[in-house]
Structure 1
Amino acid sequence: MSKLLEIKVPDIGDFSEVEVIELLVAVGDRVEAEQSLVTVESDKASMEIPSSDAGIVKSLKVKLGDKVKEGSVILELEAADNVVDQPVSAAKTTTAPDSSPAVSQAPVQATSSSAPAAAGDVINVVVPDIGDFSEVEVIEVLVSVGDTVDVESSLITVESDKASMEIPSSHAGTVTSLAVKVGDKVSKGSVVLTLSPTGQQVAAAPVSVPAQPEQVVQAAETMTKLPSSDRIDETATVPSEFRVSPTASFASTMMPSRNLPHASPSVRKFARELGVDLAQVKGTGEKHRITQDDVRKYVKATLTAAMSTRSTTSSSSVGGGLSVLDWPKIDFAKFGPIESKPLSRIKKISGANLHRNWVMIPHVTNNDEADITELEALRVKLNKEHEKAGIKFTMLAFIIKAVVASLKKFPEFNASLDGDQLVMKKYYHIGFAADTPNGLVVPVLKDADKKSISEIAKETAELAKLARDGKLSPSQMQGGCFTISSLGGIGGTSFTPIINAPEVAILGVCRSSYKPVWNGQAFEPRLTIPLSLSYDHRVIDGALAARFNAYLASLLADFRRVLI
């Protein structure tokens, strides 16, 4: 027999509502206890909500963009009889309001599993009360076998999703054995190490807490099955009123046991977005912790070295000794009134992608222009003919059709790099940048080669409206082969659009204008439109880019060529 279980949002701290930004499972999926189900986001942080039980997903009760709060039903699970019960989930545990110690507070006092012992006895030093956390991860071991430690000497550093803290020794003595290593999960009562005491008195006389090794091992094995995920770093930057309850995020965000570079979750996310292996970065922070500045310096140093290696000149003539200055930190309020305004979520996400694309892709831009005098006349005529049908032909629709024809003639532009392989695509999905109140988004028009001009005009208008209303689904922004960024309704003569990886080219279009053009006998006014083609120089060379742009311009000048 089986039963349906409602999986609900656990205690999420002081947040009244959070938004669902990612669904990690689908109907029919089998999930385990502690497996992440959805990702939610507040205005301060994002977190994954884990499952409290194992089973088969029968129905989803939330979708992207929904607002949820503690107690909201996420999905229904069918729990089969043969599903093995898991240890109690941290997501199911209700805790008191956050009372965990901050990093700046006095260090946690370790306890021993026995009363003060005489010299020659062996003392087990165990993890003391660590607040509301059931388990924390050992991120640093500060002593070795044979070391002599005093009372209050730090033994290990542990980290939760709230804070990092050092566990000090409750006794003085010589370390005879270590019971933990980096990556282990420990909890209150876990043995840290054994000491051969020197006879000094304990700094305090805390209550003895017996270790429970079977429960610790069982919980650790359960945790190592969880998917890797960055933890939210709230140790000094997030006010207490916005901190996330450990029941909502701790169990689902702990890393599997392995040696990890010493860095905060936010730095790990920043490095992942740039494709940086933190194991290669030298930390300059306290106790060699890696900072965002360390990651930036590593990227800049790597790019400088790569440029020097590729150059035909010597490294010294390319500025091999050039150092990159740190980003300036300025108190702007000293110079006059200021106002701080947070970036929108779209700008934060697109900003990271644009930064990665600009740093990782060797951009070159080819500028040309097309004579669209006849095409504009045709567009105006078609709008009048289809006015009653409600179809509005835009220049973008004609450009998309011409771009598809150009991609068929120059297939290298309809490709993506995958390592050393060039993936040639046989479909034509065209993205176009849409201006919204929160920033630019890129809807994707699927199978543009199979659609008429009127169908393209209608669908692009619908996608643009969804973008402005913030209702685009992820599938409507995925799968693009080539992107068009049009500033025609705003202005400009040319610009350098940034390639939308993993694509290899992007077309920028500016406002059309009339110019005097010599026809062999006299100057006549012609309507021209600027074309700015940015391309990945690893895949496309300058001559090929110039031919693509020239061919595209010829199609726009005489649209009958699109039919050939």
Structure 2
Amino acid sequence: MSEQEIRVPELGGAESVEIVGVLVSVGDSVNTEDPLLELESDKATVELPAPAAGKITRLDVKEGDSLKEGDLVGMMDTAEGGDSGDSEQAGDDAESTGDDKASAGASSARDGDEPQNADAETSGGEQTIQVPELGGADSVEIVSVLVSVGDSVNAEDPLLELESDKATVEMPSPATGKITRLDVKEGDSLKEGDVVGMMEVAGGGDEGAGSKEQGTGSKAQGAAESGAQEETVGAGSARDNTGSQQAASSPAPSPEPPSAAEPSGKRVHAGPAVRRIAREFGADLQQIKGSGPKGRILKEDVQAWVRNQLQSGGSKPAGGGAGIPEVPLPDFSQFGEVERRSMTKIQRLTAQGMHRSWLNVPHVTQFEKADITDLEAFRKDHKTEGEKRGVKMTLLPFLMKACAHALTTYPQFNVSLDMANEQIIQKHYCHIGIAVDTPNGLVVPVIRDVDRKSIWQLAEEAQELAGKARDKKLTNNDMSGACFTITSLGGIGGTAFTPIVNSPEVAILGASKASMEPVWDGAQFQPRLMLPLSLSYDHRAINGADAARFTTLLSKTLGDLRELLL
């Protein structure tokens, strides 16, 4: 056996992530890419995969811990080649090659793919399991740990379920092997590059594996106990050799306003997500007593503090609360049986974002109907071609193309407002977000350069992103950069609605269910398929006349696709 560190991989620009789920335990066998941790940032939930196949020997983190790129979260034993004593590894070798000699060849093949682990993986060995790229998310929270130490996993098996404010995704195992150490747990926050554990990469075998696991067990327990003391996960003696490096690279906590009752130099133990919520509510963390381990401030502590301030008539929050009193709730149990369920991070942040947008954006909604009779016939004519391409041709790509045409014609819809600097930010690109309803909440993946793509390309990308949304595979990059959003309820029903602008965008289009209606053609009524459209916009950036022109152009374009050629 060869011991390997499990570190947090690159986080794609995120400063830190929170562990919301530890999916493995010490002693578990894992395969490459098996999920070890579930990490959550402020934008996505992802899984941290095992860097190699092997056994988890130590876990230095737990749920709720905050990690950053490169942090050590545990150790793992990776299998060495040439020894058929390990039954699980021998079985893996037989499955892939049919004889014991193939383990060396498999290790050599992995050397080419992962040169950074060449020394460990040539003979199996131990591999670090790190959080992969998060696509720009600052951090992710672990909502579920899908494996335990000692579990055997295959490459790409899910190790963790990670959640951000936009999506829940799984972190795959980086290799085939056995989880030897898990350093994180449910609730921990992780960022790209954080180490969540170690795994023993499938290879030959090692008679010393058992003693190595026993030798590191107490070390993992001590590390887990000390992990809650710091905002960035600590790992006891396992961190001694990397402590100075992590101290230098750890993001400084956001400065909080000094409290009148407390000295400003008081140390506050709180994760990035908690600090962000405190800033939004204008809460002074130094005035809040933490209920977490070692006095760590939790999100519930901030919410309780703000609620108490409002009820007691104290200082009003300066952020997202806007000083608006909360609606008092009765004791619903007096009316019948009730139960309470915690909101997911996506639900919490979506609610906060919608509330913030509704309070800050002066919404106006323009309603229109588009005659899509000919468009629907055209779409159905290409249904067979879509089946050949493996693409389902829906109305959505036509809506995207029509919106891109309207955004180009009326560029005042493709802006954001910088009110602090009194500037309008004009965007010279056309990325459109599409709202997707999933069991885990509403997510908005983004299709880029819509104005430059064909209907077939848009249909294919929309289908792919919708699948990733349902499978919790969306990254922060998949959900960033939109200029405009389309939300469609046509598959469900309804005649019209008022969508909320996804600030800092300035407009959003809602599509309802199309229906046959009698339309006067100048001589008689004709049955036409009419699509209701609802355009909500920020009245600070867009006036009513321009909104009417925008929806009129949309209706005209959807009614005659030849308009796109002009």
Matched residue of 1:540: which SS? coil
2:182 is matched with 70
For 1:83-482, list aligned pairs within 5 A. Answer: 95=222, 226-229=250-253, 258=264, 268-272=275-279, 274=280, 276-278=281-283, 291-293=305-307, 325-418=325-418, 419=420, 420-482=422-484
Looking at structure 1, the residues matched to 554 and 367 of structure 2 have their Cα atoms a distance apart, in angstroms, of 12
Indicate the structure whose relative CO is greater, using CA pairs within 8 Å and at least 6 residues apart. 2
- Which residue is 1:506 aligned to? 508
Secondary structure of the residue aligned to 2:389 is coil
Q: What residue in structure 1 maps to residue 40 of structure 2?
A: 21
Aligned equivalents of 1:385, 1:428: Cα separation in 2? 27
Question: Which position in structure 1 is the counterpart of 2:163?
Answer: none
Distance 2:455 2:368 in 1: 24
Provide the C-alpha distance between the structure 2 equivalents of 1:558 and 1:299, rounded to a whole number of angstroms: 54
Aligned residues: 369
Q: Once the 2 structures are TM-superposed, how far is the Cα of residue 66 of structure 1 from its aligned partner?
A: 2.4
* Pairwise CA distance, 1:282: 10
Secondary structure in structure 2 of the residue aligned to 1:466: helix
The letter for the 2-side match of 1:396 is L
TM-score by length of 2: 0.55
- Structure having the higher helix fraction is 2
**C-alpha deviation, 1:21, in angstroms:** 3.2
Q: 1:487 to 1:330 in 2, by over 3 A?
A: same
Contact 1:366 1:546 (8 Å CA) reproduced:
yes
State how far apart, in whole Å, the 2-side matches of 1:422 and 1:333 are: 50
Q: Distance in 1 between matches of 2:20 and 2:39?
A: 16
Judged with a 3 Å threshold, the aligned counterparts in structure 2 of structure 1 residues 362 and 263 are, in CA distance, closer, same or farther, namely: farther
Aligned partners of 2:309 and 2:509: how far apart in 1?
Answer: 31
Contact 2:310 / 2:325 at 8 angstroms: preserved in 1?
no
Query: Deviation of residue 270 (structure 1)?
Result: 2.2
Letter paired with 2:465: L
Q: Aligned equivalents of 2:327 and 2:267: distance in 1?
A: 24
CA distance in 2, matches of 1:95, 1:455: 53
SS of the counterpart of 1:291?
A: helix
- Structure 1 distance, partners of 2:350, 2:320, is 22
Q: Once the two structures are superposed, what CA deviation does each residue of 1:125-146 show, in whole Å capped at 9, x if it has no partner?
A: xxxxxxx79989xxxxxxxxxx
Matched position secondary structure for 2:222: coil
Using structure 1 for the length normalisation, give the TM-score: 0.55
Relative to structure 1, is the Cα distance of residues 349 and 51 closer, same or farther in structure 2, using a 3 angstrom cutoff? same
- Identity rate of aligned residues, in percent? 40
> What amino acid maps onto 1:228 in structure 2?
A
Residue in 1 that maps onto 2:12? none
Taking a change above 3 Å as real, the CA distance of residues 277 and 377 of structure 1, as seen in their structure-2 partners, is same
What is the CA–CA distance in structure 2 between the aligned matches of 1:385 and 1:481, rounded to whole Å?
31
Q: Mark the runs of 5 or more structure 2 residues left unpaired by the alignment.
A: 9-18, 25-36, 45-60, 73-114, 118-127, 135-169, 173-178, 185-192, 197-218, 234-242, 256-262, 291-300
Which residue of structure 2 aligns with residue 167 of structure 1? none
What SS does the aligned partner of 1:341 have?
A: coil
Q: Which amino acid aligns with 1:467?
A: A
Which whole-Å CA distance do the structure 2 matches of 1:491 and 1:262 have between them? 49
Which of 48, 54, 58 pairs up with 2:67?
A: 48
Distance 1:134 1:438 in 2: 28
Aligned residue for 1:507, secondary structure, equals strand
Judging changes above 3 Å, is the alpha-carbon distance between structure 1 residues 515 and 502 closer, same or farther for their aligned structure 2 residues?
same
After superposition, the C-alpha distances for 1:32-81 in whole angstroms (9 at most, x for unaligned) are xxxxxxxx995xx452258679xxx96884325427963589569xxxxx
Give the 3 Å change call, closer, same or farther, for CA 41–546 of structure 1 in structure 2.
farther
Stretches of structure 1 lacking an aligned partner (at least 5 in a row): 24-39, 77-91, 99-131, 137-159, 163-218, 232-256, 306-322
The 3 A distance-change label for structure 1 pair 487 and 135 is: closer
Shift of 1:348: 2.6
Please list the CA deviations of residues 68-116 of structure 1 after superposition, one character each: whole Å capped at 9, or x if unmatched.
963589569xxxxxxxxxxxxxxx9963886xxxxxxxxxxxxxxxxxx
Alpha-carbon deviation of 1:405? 0.4
